[in-house]
Amino acid sequence: MLTALVSASEGVATWYGEQYHGRRMANGQIFDMYDSTTAASREFSLGTWLHVTSLANGRSVDVQVRDSGAFGHAMDLSYAAFSQLASPSVGSIRVRYEVIPGPGQSAAPAPTAAPA
């Protein structure tokens, strides 16, 4: 489900799981490491949907930014989301990520300009 891309970037993705499972995320929801649609990012606003593709094997997953974190890489994916891209035993992977429309949206949200 890849339509109306806003931008594409590359970076490193890691995963988070058991240590945070059941804890409240930045958006107020409870983190479920088995939910393959959850990601944490410092770059994107909460609620942003991303299409994330492994550069090593071309596998992809759509995730929503529901959490933030104090890390220096592109994003953390839930255990389930990361598992769709690679074996969690590798710890981190290089990915391409693109903003996409979320379920029920016809286009990705347009960037808003600051008031003049």
According to the model, what pLDDT value does residue 102 have?
87
Question: Does pLDDT of 16 surpass 80?
Answer: yes
CA 11 – CA 13 distance, rounded (Å): 7
CA 49 – CA 38 distance, rounded (Å): 9
Mean pLDDT for the stretch of residues 13-21:
94
CA 22 – CA 17 distance, rounded (Å): 10
Domains and CATH numbers, the chain: 8-100 (2.40.40.10)
Q: Render pLDDT for 82-94 as a digit per residue (tens, 0 to 9).
A: 999 999 999 999 9
Closest alpha carbon to 50 in 87, 14, 81, 86: 81
* Position 7 confidence tier, pLDDT thresholds 50, 70, 90: low
CA-only gyration radius of the chain, Å? 14
According to the model, what pLDDT value does residue 103 have?
85
Q: Which amino acid is at 94?
A: R
